[in-house]
Structure 1
Amino acid sequence: MTMELCTKPRPEPTTAVDFRLDPELTAGLLDELTRLWTDVSNTGGAVGFPGRVTYDEVRPETDRYARTVAEGRHRLLAGFDGAGRLRATAFLGFNTHRLQDHFAWVTTVMVDPALQGGGHGRALLAAVEEHARALGLEALKLTCRGGTGLEHFYASCGYQEVGRVPGGLRVSADDYRDDIMMWLPLH
């Protein structure tokens, strides 16, 4: 699933990544997810933690996602390399309110730091969009941390900024960042 839906051309990925929706959440995959999340966080990725983290700090969040996947509240889109190693993720989070069940949240968008800058983020978002359409969704919504430039990346993939809460995220005692909301219509 390498359908190119982003508006900006991407470099040809140097490592092939195969995206799969709903892989079995085995103990091994949960371990890989925790390690990926730890690595992304510790190399500056804005994926829910304010700074450096340990495996043991991330694991409870991984387990929380596993529970919400089992309950049907989230779906995991996972990218695997040719050796079967987890290299990228995004979760689709579903709304339960009837006025918002036409869109899903895109959360925990991660690409292995060793692969970043090689077009895998764009390929991941294209796969998210493809699966969202197949699920009958009309739009996708995500948030990103200000001060990272991620809003520009998401905008280049078709998302538009639709809201911003100045200082809505506290990264540390003296570091507040904007909480930026992005929206992608799928029609």
Structure 2
Amino acid sequence: MTHASKPDLVQITDAREITPDLRRQLIDCWIAVTNSGGAAGFPFAPVRDDDVAPVTDKLLGRLHPQHSRLITARFGDGLAGWVVLNRDPYRLVEHWGTVRHLQTHPEFRGRGVGSALMRELRKIARDELGLEQLHLAARGEAGLESFYSRLGWREIGRWPGALRLAPDDTRDEVLMLLDPL
């Protein structure tokens, strides 16, 4: 089987654009990422469909052209990954966005999916939403700081011991910033 070198990226701004098949793939991706140890919003594996589906539906229901965008990456018919960009509607902080739930399906890891999604998100934030900076929070000790650093992000702070994954596994929450876009 021949693999495309770069994923096809699609931006979705309205829940009505989500087909039943895409919804299913988003849920399946989130389950696979979480159950393989990924830090994408569900810290306690294993997760099942009834854990992930309602959270996915809530996230999709918030999509809005001015405030929340979903970016997907595909190789052919397979969903390789996705990420969410949120913009706060309050005037005081409307110049920045928050990145949430970046994930690459385990079957597609090592093919540049996460980097491609983050580069596309950056372009959308800057060129379409007029944002000046992006923020995210990452789980410490998961290799995420170096991944984001390679894409131009910098650490701006830590919440020490914020995440308790198990009685003997407490991690920092790492706050990161991309500025300027």
Q: State the TM-score, normalized to the length of structure 2.
A: 0.88
CA contact (8 A) 2:34 2:47 kept: yes
CA contact (8 A) 2:4 2:75 kept: no
Distance 1:14 1:151 in 2: 28
Distance 1:102 1:160 in 2: 18
CA contact (8 A) 2:7 2:74 kept: yes
Q: Shift in Å at residue 70 of structure 1?
A: 5.2
1:9 alignment partner in structure 2: none
Distance change >3 Å, CA 124–CA 70, structure 1 → 2 = closer
Q: Shift in Å at residue 109 of structure 1?
A: 0.2
Q: Shift in Å at residue 52 of structure 1?
A: 1.8
1:144 alignment partner in structure 2: 138
1:44-71 alpha-carbon deviations (Å, 9 max, x no partner): 1001112221122111110110111159
1:139-161 alpha-carbon deviations (Å, 9 max, x no partner): 11111001101011101110000
1:4 alignment partner in structure 2: none
Identity %: 36
For residue 69 of structure 1, give the secondary structure of its aligned residue in structure 2: coil
CA contact (8 A) 2:163 2:172 kept: yes
CA contact (8 A) 1:38 1:58 kept: yes
Q: Which amino acid aligns with 2:150?
A: S
Matches within 5 A, 1:1-187: 15-22=5-12, 24-50=17-43, 51-69=45-63, 73-83=67-77, 85-135=78-128, 136-187=130-181
How many residue pairs match? The answer is: 174
Distance 1:77 1:147 in 2: 26
Unaligned stretches of 5+ residues in structure 1: 1-12
Distance 1:56 1:63 in 2: 11
Distance 2:124 2:66 in 1: 15
Distance 1:70 1:131 in 2: 14
Q: State the TM-score, normalized to the length of structure 1.
A: 0.86
Distance 1:71 1:184 in 2: 21
For residue 183 of structure 1, give the secondary structure of its aligned residue in structure 2: strand
Larger RCO, structure (CA 8 Å, separation 6 or more): 1
